[in-house]
Amino acid sequence: DKPEAKLKRLLAQDATLVTALRGGIEAAAREDGWALLSTAGSAAKRQAPIDPRNYGVKNFPALFEGTGLFEIVRAQNGHQYVADKRNKDRTPLPAA
């Protein structure tokens, strides 16, 4: 296994982490189903005492991406948005 694949599996299997990340998105999500990545990270931190460095990554964007469970999009305005891949009601891309 590549280290990235192993990390992704470990992160995706960490129920506490995944629950906190999903909760962060839910707390920060807009009507289109997308949340500003920075806001979702802050909200996730309020759900559980998570430090991305404890998971071998440097920040929340890397943590969201590392699980493979979320879609991350960089909008034209430079902001990054995140959505839960399970959310079928979200728009294909975040509304600007």
Q: Does the predicted model carry a pTM greater than 0.95?
A: no
Has residue 61 got a pLDDT over 90?
A: yes
Name the residue with tokens 């996730």.
Answer: 44
Q: Calculate mean pLDDT across residues 27-56.
A: 94
Helix (H) or strand (E) holding 71: strand 70-74
Buried b (16+ CB within 10 A) or exposed e, 44-79: beebeebebeebebeebbebbbbbebbbeeeeeeee
Has residue 3 got a pLDDT over 80?
A: no
Which DSSP category does 25 fall into?
A: H
What pLDDT sits at residue 1? 66
What pLDDT sits at residue 85? 97
- In this prediction, residue 33 has a pLDDT band, given cuts at 50, 70 and 90, of very high
